[in-house]
Structures are given as structure tokens and as C-alpha cells.
Structure 1
């Protein structure tokens, strides 16, 4: 492409950088050549741009325009060139710094391209104390098709590390509430005597004064003990007893006791048998995981609702399409002509509020794994729905989708916001129960009546499909039995009727 220069006198200055102001020295040269600045005056201009003080920049603009017009430069062109110089102040450095940064940028880009897992593991390790940065970097890993695995007591080190070219294992040091001293004692024992085989084996072998109950609980919540082969719920329930057994083992070992067969007491501790517990439900497991890691690593809270949400939303966030970019309206605002009404759902991951001319406003970011979108709430909408704006809550938003040219991204102007339970009440046509005569035997009909009665304060009709050996029947319950289909209601109905015999129709 042909390089164009705003003014012929700038060609010798900007030719090495293809017409773009890149170095502070170029700003000083432009001021000298085009506006008769002295070397000292040009340095004052450089300093003013570095400090970005509006009053100083306004003074320098007047000096620049006066000098440029005296040399016969058109005033509008001089203004334009000063604007370019002012824009440069937001990113520019002197030539020596720029060269050093360029070399570093090239080197890191090369590493990221050729050794992506190793590079990202190093970057995350550098920022492992900053959860917000780690969250952003994990998203970047996913975009690069890299898998970030949960921390692992038998594989993780203190920092993040690449397992291979496609996998990164989470660093134990990035688990909240786990100190470096505790991790060091665990790693030293693992390096010396091999992987840990069980919870009892772990507790017997490590220094539980350094890696204490609080540390081990955080590791369980974060998934670091998953490789021991038990559910997180089991490990959490067993931990007090395992620590007690380990303490007893250490006392016995210190006194020189052995078991009946002459072996060390550790073998007894390792063989403790306990009743395994079912895993926490997905929502609880993810909640505790985020508590420990600061992010969801093994899943996403919205996964449990994907099939349900699909029935009443317009599209997943990653598939949203506007009807075209919105041209600026009167006063520079966005026209609403190209907006379209949508219903979307996502997890609230970011929230910021501020005061505007029309009252309080909020901007929230929703995430549904497929993508993210910013939602704006103004005036009455904010006042009405502010109580729902809680991080890590799944929200359903009805509003106008448009394209924000400033951010270059889609944005929704919210009209209505619901929790997932409120959305069911709004969009559900009816709740269907499939029952046969065996389900309603031995007083079960009375149990069902009591169960539904606990939730009959809503708007959702209930239809029962009843079947016995001789016939089928459809029973539509009356208005007195309109229910609110909360998560708890659905859970209890599924426990009563069976997982596949309860469905909401939208």
C-alpha cells in the first residue's frame, strides 16, 4: 500500500515508520520542522504529552498552531496533525524503549505461537496471586484450545505447569487459603516417597501442622484431591477422621509401637474403611470450586439449565446477531431502529454501576460458555431489577439487542430481568406429571397433594397424565393448583414421580 503523509515536510521524519508517529523523537522533530519549536520547546511538548494535562495540552496546541500557520500550513491541517501527535501520547515511547519493547513483544509472541502451553503456564504463574487475571488467562487458554486441568495433589507443583503441548495443570499455589509452606511440605514428601494413594496415606505422610485441616479442605473444594479416587463429598466428610487417625499414627510411631504382624502402624491407617458418599450436586460442587479457585474449572453453572433455557431464549450468547450496526442518532446517541428484541440467559460475571443524568445505571456482563454480552440497565429498569444483580447468579434478560460501535461488540438494553425460577413462571405453559397407579398407591396421592400445596402460589398450570392397567387419562388441575416451579419444587417432584416423569413445557 502507498504510504501517505499529512504534509510533505513530514516525509523525512515519518518515512522509517511508514507514515505513523511511533517515537517521541518524531513528535519533537515534527514540532521543530512544522511549527518552529526550539529543541527546548519541543522537549516541553513531549513532557506535556507524557503527563496528559488538558490545560497544558491546550496551551501547546495554541503554540503549535501559531508556529505552523506562520510557516504557511493550513490551520485545519495543523489541528489534524496535532491531534495525531496527541493520540500518539497514549501509546508512544522514545526510540530506545520502543526497540526494547518490540524485541520483547516479538520474543513472547514467538513463544506463544510455538510453545503455547508452556507460555500460558508461565504467564498464569506470574499472576497467580491475582484471581481476576487468572480468570482472563484461563479464558485465553480455552480460546487457544488448551485444556486447563484442576490442581492435582499427585501432579501439580506450586506453580502452573504444562503437562504436554495441549494441557496445563493448575498450580497448587493458586488455590485460595493454601500457603507456600503447606505446599512445600506436601511436595517434599511426594518427591521423596511417591504419589499419595488415599486420604489416610496423605494425612499420615505430611506435616498436618503446616498442611492443616483448613488447607486440605480448600484443596478438596478445588479438586486437588480428586486423583485419590473418591468424591469430593466423601473426602470432605472423611477428613476429620483421617486427620485424627494420622495424629494417632504419629503418636504410636513416636512411641515405637508396631502392629500385630510387626509392620508399621501406617498400614493400619491406610486401610481405614469408610462409607463413600455421593458427590455434591453440580451446582454445589461448582460453587465450592469457585470458592477455592476463584473460577469455574470443571463446568459451568448454566450447564444444568441449557436444555430448559433453549426453549425460551432467542439464541446462545455466542450466536447473537444484530440487524446491522446502529448509526449515531441525534446528539451522538445510538439509534434504536436497528435494534431487535431478544431473550437471553447467562451467568452474571461482572457488574459496574454509576450515576447518570437520569439516575442510577448498571452494566452487567453475562456468560453462557458460548460467549459473553454486556447488558445495560437505565433508570426505571435499574431501580426495578437492582435486587437481582448478584454475581454468579443465572439471569434471563429480555431487551433490545444492538451493536455498540464504541466497544465494537453487541450490547443489550434491558427491559426485563428474571431469575431462572421467575423465568419459568413467565414463560412456562404448564408442568406435566406422568404418574401410574403404582406411584399413587399407599397414600401417595395425599403426599402429592401436600407437595403441590407447598408451591400453589404461582401462575403455572399442572397437568397430570395418569395411567393404570385399563386406561390413560389427562387431568388438568384447577386454578387453585397453579404453582411456582422453583428448583426445590422440581427436585421434590422428581424424587416423587421419577426423573423422567416431570417436565415443563414452554
Structure 2
């Protein structure tokens, strides 16, 4: 939706599509048969409020979350059959352990890949019976859940279109059909995504307001702050949206971004295709003047100069198809999809049209052929620039706040990982505490008379959150703080 001026005017998006040359045709074109897909990200903690608002605005009977079906995976099928057959748990666990780990592992594949499992299957009648039954129930729906993001909104009560059901133990209503079936029925599906990083941003801004007395507008922050780019160049981006992994931090150190367009490109380039295809290396070499970009045609220079001669975005490929080959923008996206899905008939038709158009624009046949080959190679790697731009904006804001308000940022980051605490091994919260030490930010020990439920900031130091203590959950921490605020500080252990 970032490519739509209407979305920008309605504040659904904070990125101007004209400023970043985002194409409406990438969002919606006349050839598209399904409704436009708009993913809307919300603060994770307040996503429920948004769904409640939509229900109140459009009617509780016209809005529902979409159901999902958890299917019986290979290991679960073995365990369930073993329980029904009354087999010893230790025996079932021994068989289950022989199934290789990983996504989409089927029992058929497991028997092919695991010699130990195959040997047990061939030599032990009990194992053969167990696995034969498990094969029959593998893949069947085992339980019903709620989709993490999808919400369906109807113009009339949804019971007129789709069967509904209650979530067991809750009042929540969900569809009995999965997302694909709901969309095929012609209903409007919206994605309301709860994003942890937006919760962190909200928390940072609350803490900044508490410590400085001013409320920051994240979208008014300057996009040319050199200190922020210095932080990105150093790869100190733990907790920074989309830029946290070790690999992308290494890429930032190599690329040394110095403007928002580099940050947009990082989001698009850090994927297997561009990394393996040499696109990342080309971008970095040209950016730092160690290599010269080549442009077969002046139009190519106009389109690819911002990415140093590399086809990074789908929108760039669409522009080339349109301006050099004379293919309409709406058809250009269809062409890109056909290339990525290897639809040979559509590819051949567009190839002929492109080469003819490129020759009319001054390219000789050989260069036009070579350019089409480049498009075919890179179109499958190209990333949606609208998506990358929206995420880069959030990444930059996060990096800016980490640079200029490090104490508040780290307190919010620590709070965001309380729910993921793992006291059996080193967890992400411990890593953040180590980062605080490296950044010379003091984290004070827990104090029942000063600490809050979450991590907080006081006098330039971080107060350890009570709910992050082992054995003290959120409810207990809230009760401790509520009692202290009502009756004053605890005087001794007995008062406590």
C-alpha cells in the first residue's frame, strides 16, 4: 500500500510514493483479479484494541479473525498412534528421535533419509505397524487456531457468507474456513500485524517523555543525521528493526550507508538471491568508487543510478520494461511475476515486445537481447521497493533513537524481551545487559522500593524490571508496585 498516494494521504503510510519513485502499478494494476493486499503493522500490545475498534465500527457480526488448522506432523503422528496402541513411551520416543528435524519432514522422506529409522521399520514389526498407521493420519487437521494477522470484514453478517466458530475457552469468533478459502469466497481479508519493534518504539517514546518532558514525533526526525549513520556503519544495530542479525550487521559494515536510500537497499539486498548473485558486491564496489557502473542506455542510468547500476527493486525492472521496451507498467508487473514463476508463454510474448521496443529506442538487437537476459536473471531477485522503503523508515527511526537516547532505548529493548526469558541458558535479555555494559549504561540491581514492573529509567540509569526476575511474573510484579504506590515504600522484610 506504500505505493499508493491515497494511502499516504489517509496516513495509512508515512512514506511519500512520489519522493521515493514508488509505483502504484506494483500495488494494484488493471490485470489483477484479487483485492489489493495491505499489510498494516501495529504495536504488538495494542493490536487487540484495533480489532475491537473494527468490530465496533463495522459491527461485531461482520468482523471475525480467520481460523487456521494445525496439521499432524510426522513426529506428532507417531506419538499419537503410539499412545492409542498403548506402546511404552520410551519406545515411542526412541522411534520419534530417528525422524530428522526440520520443516516439512514427512514420514516417507524420513524413511528415505534416516538409515536407522529404515532399519527399525524393516526389522521390527511393532515399528512397522506404528509407522504405517502414522502415515495414514499424517497431514490431517489436528487442532484449530487463530491466524496471527488475518481479519475478515464483510458488508453483511459473516454467517451469510462463511461458517463461524467460537475459540474453545474464549468468546472470540473465528471463521471455520482457512485464509485461502475465505479469499476465494470473495471476502475482504485484512492483515493486522502485531510488530514487536513498534511496541519498542512506543515504549522508547514514553520513556523519553518521562525523562525529558517532550514527546517526540518519530516521522519528523531528520533523515540526514550523521551520528545515526555512524552507528549503522559500525554495525551496532542490535534491537534496530530489520538490521539485527549478524549477517546484516556485517553487510552494514561493508556498505557503510550514508543516506536513507542505502538503508532501503540494505533491506532489499540482504537475501540469498542478491548475495549469491554478486549484486551486493557490485553495489558496494560501485558505491565506494572501486568499480564503475555500466549503463547500456541513458534510460538505464536514470533508473539504476540510485542503486549504483544494480537492479535491486521490482519497480526498477518495471520501469526498464516500460521505458525501454514500451510495455505498459500494469503489464510489466505481470511480466515480472511470469519470470519468477517461469511461465514460458508470457515470458516469450514480453521478450518479443521488449526487444522490438528497445530497438525502436536506439538499442541494437544484440544489446537488447543481452538486456533481456539481465532482466530475466534479476527479475526473480528483485524486491518490492515500497515494502523495503516502509521498513527502512522504521529501521532508521529505531537507529536514531538508539543513537540519541541510548538509555531509554535499551530500557525499552530489555522490557520487550522479558516474556522471552529462558533461565536455563543465556537468553537475549542477558545479551542486552551485556550491550548496556559495553555502552557504559548502568543497570541497577532490582529494588522493591525503586524498580517498576518493566525496565525503567531514572537519573540516566536503568532500573531492573521486577517482572524479569526468575519466579516473579508480571502479575506479582504489578501487585508489588501497586502496594508500594498505595501505602508507600516497604520499610523492612516483614512489611514487604
Structure ranking higher in helix proportion: 2
- Give the structure-2-normalised TM-score: 0.33
Say which structure, 1 or 2, has more relative contact order (CA 8 Å, 6+ apart): 2
- Give the structure-1-normalised TM-score: 0.32
Q: Which has the larger radius of gyration?
A: 1
Structure ranking higher in strand proportion: 1
